[in-house]
Amino acid sequence: MDYSKTLEVLEGDIWEEPEFKSHLVTTCHQLRKTPLKNLTAENLRMLIGQEIGLVYVIPLAVDILENQLLVSGDMYEGDLLCSLSGVGSQFWDSNAELKARAFDLIHSIDSALETLQRAKRGLEGNISW
């Protein structure tokens, strides 16, 4: 995939200017004109949440998450990962490799939670209030 291209170019679909001028709508329209390589975690979170260009933005999101599982956009730690949970099974069923990578991310979360629970129990046993 050519990350210097925009969603408009990759999809061959240039949207008309939005009639509804909310922050979300105008931002999503602008992000479709942004080269993929310039999209941030927040941009990806927003596009995924609006189901825009999923076939192009989810691979980028998964790449980022594989390097920093709890990366945050503008909302909270892990918000990009949470945005993936809203993607329907139809997308995942049509994209087996991405589905496998997403499952690996889920297993990473499980391992991290188990480690944190052990650390928490150890810390609680060593601190007296």
Q: What is the pTM for the complete model shown?
A: 0.85
Per residue in 47-105, pLDDT (tens digit) is 999 999 999 999 999 999 999 988 988 888 989 999 998 999 999 999 999 999 998 99
CA atoms of 101 and 8, how far apart (whole Å): 26
- Tell me the HSE value of 76 on the side-chain side, using a 13 A CA sphere: 2
CA atoms of 107 and 8, how far apart (whole Å): 34
CB neighbour class for 14 (10 Å; exposed up to 12, middle 13-18, buried from 19): exposed
